[in-house]
Structure 1
Amino acid sequence: MISLAVDWLMLFSCTLTDMAVHLGFLLILNGLIGIHSITAVSKVSVRAGDSITIPCLYGSQYRNHVKYLCKGYYWSFCSEVVKTNQPHSSGKFSISDDKTQRIFNVTIKALTNDDTDYWCAVEINQGGDIKKYFHLSVARGTPSLYVDHQEMTGFNGDSVTISCKYTTAGEMKWCRLGGNCVTGSSGSIDGTTVTINSSVRNVFIVTMSGLTTQSSGWYLCVKGDFQMPVHVTVNDTPTTTSLATRRHFTTLSPPAGPVNLTSVSPDETLNSSVSVKLMSYIIPLSVLIFIVMMTLFIWFLCKRNKHTEEESSATATAEEVLTYTTVKHERKLDQAEAEVTYSNVKYTKKPSHKRSVAKSDEEVTYSSVVTTKQQPVQRF
């Protein structure tokens, strides 16, 4: 009896050992084939009528597989709305696959209350598709967690700032999709320094400094149960500046020794050609403007001189034609009103009285001679 119990115990132990081995093998196999290799957001708050882009990270073994978005709460009953081999099947949905970053992005436009339950999925040939569920919380007012722009751009060595705005409670974090997170006021993600400033009410500001091209990718604002995906693109620092801001001042002097010829960079050649083309337009335009201004000035002077000459000619003609005469009428005095002249006449010889003929009416002088009898002087 005891030996039978020992046999059963040994058999049971072997069975448990075999089950553990098989379970471990299954877990390893699941990891190898990527059963849980899709990484995406779990809950996103959005405003009704807006659009949202959701990134879905997949394993490298699915780089050449077909990806798609499935709509519905239950996986067994969800319907495919857009696929990478049919990217333009609907105007409401769009999908793109970045095989280098191993991320396919799905965009949903004109969000409504019906847009709540979706699955990121990858087709598996001769097997079950892998998938990841995410929920969209569509709000009529302000979302629980949102950003002004989902796409941010920076330059190599510079910094970029993202404002994560929220109306919900919970722990705040800044995470890289499929990577680690920064939960405190500072930290680093893949060599990029991250600082989080939460001094402003209902906003935590994330600053990523010391950017590199490897910093490009999808990140997540996290507040409580909500995540908001933000894509950061890091470009190489421009090697040339704009023509308007770059100016060279050169002083020429006779060379003290042999002249060395140096090659001109394509950027300098391009700037020089742009400058020459610009001058070829500016100079003729300046000359044309000058000619037009001079023509208008000469025309104005000619018109003014002509007007002055016309006024002078009219004045001279009027002075030659018109003769101004003043006529003063004098009334001829009556004889009674004529001036009386009393004279003493001594008779020596009686002269003959002759009236002189007046030359003209203008020279007539009227005279009246009155003779009076001289009274004798009485002596006493």
Structure 2
Amino acid sequence: MVAYGTAALCCTLICFCLMLGTECYTGGSNNTFTVQPGGSVTIPCYYDSKYTQQRKFWFSEADKCAIYTNFTSETVSVIDHPAQSLFTVTMRNLKMNQYGEFYCFVETYEGNKTTYEGLLEIKNAPDVSVVSSSVSGDEGGNISVKCLYSSAYKNKHKHWCRYKDKSCYTSQSSSVQISDDERESFTVLMSGLMLSDSGWYFCFVGDRQAPVQLTVSAHTIENNTETTNDTGSSDGSGESTLNDQQKEKNMSLWLPVSAGLMMIIIMVAVCTWKWKNRSAEDKKLMKNNAPDTVTVEETVIYSTINDENPNNISQLQFKANTIYSSMEDPAECEGQSPAGGTVYSTVAPH
């Protein structure tokens, strides 16, 4: 009954994966990695998120030693990534004698739990490898991965698989395309990338695999222009839409600025006009309030004095007494002699 239930569950999972254009991958003894002598490889070990705080370690049959997480040396690094619910094992400068099985463990209250197991082979000509073990792309964009295989695996099925959910793409889909050039390489193209696509994948040929880490970055903006449109394409329609949006944004910014400048110009013009008119009125007012001007013309006095009796001043006769003057306001000058007056007199001796 248990075997029947397990088989039914597997059939259900396979049917579900086929609906998505993928196949289910159960792992196990198929986790075989081939690396050249002196080469390196990084293997991800996923675990359940409930084990985030538990201790994890990696065990190699070849070395007969266990290495716990967050350890680094010249030849091996075991690093935990709790946020991603996985730890990675990186082996460098591999040697021929490191051939053998390896295991990823999590310590639990019930004992050590195996989360991943595989087989490491050291060969001069790897069965499956990748041009780059780390690729990155932007949200909505595309990435391309080139997978290499030996001639012995030319007729084997080629897959692009994901470690986390153990699903493999075997045929063309809207987001993944696999192209085999049948010359010992095939190319995987992923389009319309999403942030959730970040993680570890592997090129899978026959029973051999090569891991690849994919990093998807959030949508970016450069020079006030979006690098990609919402669908991740760069066609003319998307660019035109972005240009229209930019124009609308610029217009919304310039309208209030233009209105403000116009108001300032009007205010300056009004103030200038008022200032000019006020200056003319002030000039007129100053002219009206200016003190009266007194004009005193030169006064000429002609007189003849008879000195027959010089001691009798009362008998002095003025033959001529002429005063010429012009005053605008005589009241102000009353009792005052004309300034600057000139007196001409003739005295006749007797």
TM-score range for the pair, normalised by the shorter chain length: 0.5 to 0.7
Distance 1:131 1:154, change over 3 A: closer
CA distance in 1, matches of 2:159, 2:187: 11
CA distance in 2, matches of 1:256, 1:222: 63
Query: Could you tell me which of 181, 201, 205 is aligned with 2:168?
Result: 181
CA distance in 2, matches of 1:228, 1:110: 17
Pair 1:163 & 2:150 matched = no
Question: Based on CA coordinates, which of the two structures has the bigger radius of gyration?
Answer: 1
Structure 1: where are the runs of 5+ without partners?
A: 1-19, 25-36, 243-247, 261-380
| 1:256, distance to aligned residue in structure 2 (A) | 5.4
Instruction: Report the counterpart of residue 204 of structure 1 in structure 2.
Output: 186
Residues 99-144 of structure 1: CA deviation (Å, up to 9, x unaligned): 122111000010111222221111223524425321111112x311
8 Å Cα contact 2:45-2:115 kept in structure 1: no
Specify the code of the residue in structure 2 equivalent to 1:183.
T
Query: Could you tell me which of 75, 82, 106 is aligned with 1:122?
Result: 106
8 Å Cα contact 1:124-1:130 kept in structure 2: no
Instruction: Report the counterpart of residue 91 of structure 1 in structure 2.
Output: 74
3-state SS of paired residue (2:190) = strand
Instruction: Report the counterpart of residue 228 of structure 1 in structure 2.
Output: 210
Task: Give runs of ≥4 in structure 1 deviating > 4 Å.
Answer: 37-41
Task: Tell me which moved more, 115-124 or 40-49.
Answer: 40-49
Distance 1:123 1:256, change over 3 A: closer
Specify the code of the residue in structure 2 equivalent to 1:108.
M
Specify the code of the residue in structure 1 equivalent to 2:157.
E
CA distance in 1, matches of 2:173, 2:258: 57
CA distance in 2, matches of 1:128, 1:217: 25
CA distance in 1, matches of 2:261, 2:187: 56
The structure that is strand-richer by fraction is 2
Instruction: Report the counterpart of residue 113 of structure 1 in structure 2.
Output: 96
Specify the code of the residue in structure 1 equivalent to 2:65.
S
Instruction: Report the counterpart of residue 139 of structure 1 in structure 2.
Output: 123
Residues 323-367 of structure 1: CA deviation (Å, up to 9, x unaligned): xxxxxxxxxxxxxxxxxxxxxxxxxxxxxxxxxxxxxxxxxxxxx
CA distance in 1, matches of 2:34, 2:188: 19
Distance 1:130 1:256, change over 3 A: closer
Pair 1:79 & 2:81 matched = no
Specify the code of the residue in structure 2 equivalent to 1:181.
C
3-state SS of paired residue (2:111) = coil
Over the matched positions of the two proteins, sequence identity in percent amounts to 29
Aligned length in residues: 213
Pair 1:56 & 2:42 matched = no
CA distance in 2, matches of 1:212, 1:128: 35
Pair 1:258 & 2:260 matched = yes
Specify the code of the residue in structure 2 equivalent to 1:144.
D
Distance 1:40 1:235, change over 3 A: farther
8 Å Cα contact 1:151-1:230 kept in structure 2: yes
Structure 2: where are the runs of 5+ without partners?
A: 6-25, 225-245, 263-350
Specify the code of the residue in structure 2 equivalent to 1:240.
E
Instruction: Report the counterpart of residue 376 of structure 1 in structure 2.
Output: none
CA distance in 2, matches of 1:225, 1:241: 48
Distance 1:131 1:105, change over 3 A: same
8 Å Cα contact 2:55-2:68 kept in structure 1: yes
Greater RCO (CA < 8 Å, at least 6 residues apart): 2
8 Å Cα contact 1:40-1:57 kept in structure 2: no
CA distance in 2, matches of 1:143, 1:100: 33
Let me know the Cα RMSD of the aligned residues: 3.6
3-state SS of paired residue (2:166) = coil
Structure 2 length normalisation: TM-score? 0.54
CA distance in 2, matches of 1:259, 1:199: 65
